[in-house]
Every structure is written in structure tokens, then in C-alpha cells.
């Protein structure tokens, strides 16, 4: 029961007991304001301790989500790894969120998690983790009955970082080809040469690393110069047209004994790791394999209209295509104006 007092200076003071702890606030101009504050606090405390919210730690939600939801996703490996890290199943300690009971879990705990992570990793990483945590909370509220609502909807999401604009600089492609020793006229037998073939193919098709590594010959039609991608990042299949250079890359790969099932016979993890090693060997700064997709789409934009460009890339939102991947040289645009 709340207690309301009038102070010597004419203002009002409210006092209420929540979970055995006394909370007091002064300076209300009217008694009604003091009563409203106390009522809101009591109602919130009652909601948070309702009997239908289980008294179990948040870690159980992370475990259940990992074992029943994440395992069904195409990107399960990375999501499971992230959830295990939060749970302390690795070199790091469990995140403080794991120990908070659902009966006490509030938006402020996720705000504290956000601020904590922003001191440790880049904004982009926090946003990816935010998506996972929010999905966990959504399942807790909509599917499992462990929360009344998703508390993360009340927390300010970090601002999106500026989109990358990195493209190949003059001479960098040649450096990469020298480092990989890739020659498009010769079947790429070594792993290094295979990385070089993947680099060329990415620039010609705007395909992602995982999509390139998963190409099977069943999905390739060299006569029609297309490759069908039954599974993509956004879940929608798409068919990518092949330039004559891309066709030539595949024709050489097809002659290799170890490339009879998957065209490149590379794993995406291996492609990424080896690409970074080759990049560092060339003393090239801040170039990711995924930047080749931006390079490809910017080049393709000179040849096809925006709708066909979106069909090639698989983007359903043209704003993302324009903001993140299309990075034209304004000097080239200026020449088009004459």
C-alpha cells in the first residue's frame, strides 16, 4: 500500500514498497501526481511477478531457442556459436543476462547488454546479435508464454553504421591474381588458384561466397549461360546469368576430378580465410570478399537496368541495393551527362 505525504515545502512525497524494498519519490506538485506514480509502480511490480511468468533464468530461453529454432536455420552454425558464447559454453563467461529470472527481466537489462556490447565489438556485430536476442524474446512471448511481451521493443536499437563503399582499387585485382597464380586459361588445381577463380567469378556474377561454394553442376546450364541457386540468403531461389568470362571459369573447373560434384570444391569458411591471407600477402587494406559483390553490381549497373540488376543480385528491396551495394564513380557518371 502506497503512502502519500505532504512535505514542509508544500510538495508531495510518495512511498511504496516493491518486493520488500521501499521506494520514495519527492517533489510532486499535487497529491494526484504522487498517487499516480505509486500506482504505476505497484502495477508494474504486480505484472512482473505474475504467477504465469516462470521463475527460471533467461539462459533456459537461449538453450531452448538454440536447440529448437536455430538448428532449423540455414545459418545455424553461426547462430548456435553466438548463443553458446552467451551461455558461457566456450572461453568467455556467460553473459549477465543468463542469470536474470523471467519474473525480473525488464527492458533495462537489454539496454545494459547493448551498452556493454558496444564497448566490446562493432555496431554491426551488435545489430546482428540484437536480431537473435529479439527473436529469442519474441518466441518467449508469442510461443512459449515465458514473457508477456518482447522487452527489446522498448529499447533503442543502435544506429545503423554507414554502409561500406569499398571497391577494388586500381591494381588490386592484378595483385590478387598474381598472388593466387590463377590463369583463366588453365584449370585451377591448387587451393590458391581455386580462390583466384572464385574471385573472378564473384566479380562477374555478384554472387556471395556461400552461393559460389554451393554451386553444383546440376544447377549449371552452360548452354544457356545460367546458374540456378535453389537456396539463397533471403530464402528465395534465383537464376544468375553468366558472362563469357564466368562460363570460361566453370568450363576449366569442370575438367578437374575433385570438382565433379561441387564446381569450386571450396567451403565458404575456407574461402574467406584464404582470401584474407592472400589479401594480406598483397598488403591490401580493408578488402573483404563480400566487397567483390559491390564491385560486381556497380560494374553490372552499366550494362543492365536496375530491375534486372536486382534480379541478378536477389535484392527484393531496391533501397538496400542502392545504399549498400551500388557504389558508382561520380566521375564516370559525369561523363555520361555530356
Average pLDDT, integer, range 288-298? 92
Give the model confidence (pLDDT) of 180-228 as tens digits: 999 999 999 999 999 999 999 999 999 999 999 999 999 999 999 999 9
Catalytic residues: 208, 233, 315, 325
Average pLDDT for 157-161: 88
Q: What percentage of the chain carries pLDDT values higher than 70?
A: 91
Read off the pLDDT band of 243 (50, 70, 90). very high
Q: Is the pLDDT of residue 48 over 70?
A: no
CA 217 to mean position of chain CA atoms: 29
> How many Cβ atoms sit within 10 Å of the Cβ of residue 309?
21
d(Cα 126, Cα 157) in Å, to the nearest integer?
Answer: 9
Report DSSP state, residue 73.
S
pLDDT of residue 71: 86
Instruction: Note the pLDDT of residue 326.
Output: 64
pLDDT band at 236 (very low <50, low <70, confident <90, very high): confident
C-beta of residue 38 within 8 angstroms of C-beta of residue 2:
yes
Tell me which fold the domain 172-336 belongs to. Answer: hpI Integrase; Chain A (1.10.443)
Strand order in the sheet with 238-241: 220-221, 226-229, 238-241
d(C-alpha 209, C-alpha 290), whole Å: 7
Q: Tell whether the model's pLDDT for residue 50 goes beyond 70.
A: no
pLDDT band at 330 (very low <50, low <70, confident <90, very high): low
- Name the residue among 145, 140, 151 with its Cα closest to residue 109: 151
Cell numbers placing 170: 586500381
**pLDDT of 324 strictly over 60:** no
Q: Across residues 44-67, what is the average pLDDT?
A: 82
CA distances from 125 to 42, 121, 237 (A): 37, 6, 27
Report the mean per-residue pLDDT for the chain: 88
| Domain boundaries, given as residue ranges, for the chain | 3-48, 59-154, 172-336
Amino acid at each position: 500500500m502506497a503512502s502519500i505525504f505532504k512535505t514542509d515545502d508544500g510538495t508531495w512525497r510518495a512511498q511504496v514498497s516493491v518486493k520488500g524494498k521501499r521506494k520514495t519519490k519527492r517533489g510532486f506538485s499535487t497529491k494526484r501526481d504522487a498517487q499516480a506514480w505509486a500506482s504505476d509502480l505497484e502495477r508494474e511490480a504486480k505484472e512482473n511477478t505474475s504467477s504465469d511468468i516462470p521463475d527460471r533464468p533467461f539462459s533456459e530461453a537461449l538453450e531452448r531457442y538454440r536447440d529448437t529454432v536455430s538448428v532449423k536455420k540455414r545459418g545455424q552454425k553461426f547462430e548456435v556459436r553466438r548463443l553458446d558464447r552467451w551461455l558461457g559454453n566456450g572461453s568467455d563467461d556467460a553473459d549477465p543476462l543468463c542469470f536474470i529470472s523471467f519474473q525480473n527481466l525488464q527492458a533495462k537489462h537489454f539496454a545494459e547488454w547493448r551498452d556493454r556490447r558496444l564497448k566490446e565489438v562493432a555496431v554491426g556485430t551488435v545489430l546482428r546479435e540484437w536480431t537473435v536476442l529479439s527473436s529469442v524474446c519474441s518466441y518467449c512471448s508469442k510461443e512459449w508464454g515465458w514473457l508477456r511481451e518482447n522487452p527489446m521493443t522498448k529499447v533503442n536499437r543502435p544506429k545503423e553504421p554507414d554502409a561500406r563503399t569499398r571497391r577494388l582499387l586500381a591494381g588490386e585485382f592484378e595483385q590478387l591474381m598474381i598472388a593466387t597464380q590463377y590463369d583463366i586459361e588453365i584449370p585451377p588445381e591448387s587451393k590458391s588458384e581455386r580462390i583466384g577463380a572464385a574471385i573472378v567469378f564473384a566479380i562477374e556474377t555478384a554472387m556471395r561466397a556461400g552461393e559460389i561454394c554451393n554451386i553444383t553442376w546440376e544447377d549449371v546450364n552452360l548452354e544457356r549461360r545460367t546458374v540456378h541457386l535453389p537456396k539463397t540468403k533471403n530464402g528465395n531461389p534465383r537464376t544468375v546469368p553468366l558472362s563469357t568470362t564466368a562460363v570460361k571459369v566453370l568450363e576449366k573447373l569442370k575438367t578437374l576430378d575433385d570438382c565433379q560434384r561441387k564446381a569450386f570444391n571450396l567451403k565458404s569458411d575456407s574461402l574467406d580465410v584464404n582470401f584474407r591471407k592472400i589479401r594480406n600477402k598483397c598488403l591490401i587494406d580493408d578488402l573483404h570478399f563480400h566487397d567483390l559483390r559491390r564491385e560486381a553490381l556497380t560494374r553490372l549497373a552499366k550494362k543492365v537496368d536496375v530491375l534486372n540488376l536486382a534480379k541478378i543480385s536477389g535484392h527484393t528491396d531496391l533501397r538496400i541495393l542502392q545504399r549498400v551495394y551500388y557504389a558508382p564513380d561520380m566521375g564516370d557518371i559525369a561523363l555520361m551527362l555530356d
